[in-house]
Amino acid sequence: MKKVLKLSIVIVTWNNEEEIAECLRSIYANEENEPLGRIETIIVDNASSDNTVKVVKSFIELIEDDVKIIANDENLGFTRGANLGLRKAKGRYIFLLNPDTEIISDALVELVIKLENEKQAGIIAPQLLFRESEIQKSVRCFPKYRDIFFEILLLSKLFPNSRLFSRWKMNYFSHNEEAEVEQPMGAALMFNRKILEEADYLDERYDMFYSDVDVCKKISLAGHKIIFFPKAKIKHRKGVSVYKNRAYMISLWNKDCLKYFKKFHYNIILYPLLYAGLMISGFFRKFFSN
Chain CA centroid to CA 47, Å? 20
Highest mean pLDDT among 25-39, 66-80, 242-256: 66-80
pTM of the predicted protein model: 0.93
Angle, CA of 260, 178 and 216, to the nearest 5°: 20
Q: What is the mean pLDDT of residues 14-18?
A: 94
Q: How far is CA 226 from CA 114, 154, 166, in A?
A: 12, 29, 21
Looking at CATH, the fold of the domain delimited by 5-138+175-239 is given as Spore Coat Polysaccharide Biosynthesis Protein SpsA; Chain A (3.90.550)
Q: Cβ(243)–Cβ(140) under 8 Å? A: no
Q: What is the mean pLDDT of residues 112-121?
A: 94
DSSP annotation of 104: -
Burial 56-83 (b: 16+ CB within 10 A, else e): beebbeeeeeebebeebeeebbbbbbbb
Average pLDDT, the chain: 91
Note the pLDDT tens digit of each residue in 51-91. Answer: 999 999 999 888 867 899 999 999 999 999 999 999 999 99
Q: Cβ(204)–Cβ(99) under 8 Å? A: no
Split at pLDDT 50, 70, 90, the class of 1 is: very low
Among the residue ranges 41-50, 81-90, 126-135, the one predicted with the least confidence is 126-135
Looking at residue 4, what is its pLDDT? 73
On the question of pLDDT at 139 being above 70, the answer is yes
Q: Cβ(136)–Cβ(120) under 8 Å? A: no
Looking at residue 269, what is its pLDDT? 97
On the question of pLDDT at 2 being above 70, the answer is no
Pairing of strands 225-236, 179-180: antiparallel
Chain CA centroid to CA 3, Å? 28
Q: Where are the beta strands (DSSP E) in 75-115?
A: 93-97, 101-103
Split at pLDDT 50, 70, 90, the class of 247 is: confident
The rounded distance, in Å, linking the Cα atoms of 60 and 24 is 10
Looking at residue 38, what is its pLDDT? 81
Highest mean pLDDT among 29-33, 79-83, 246-250: 79-83
The rounded distance, in Å, linking the Cα atoms of 25 and 77 is 25
**Beta partners for 184?**
139
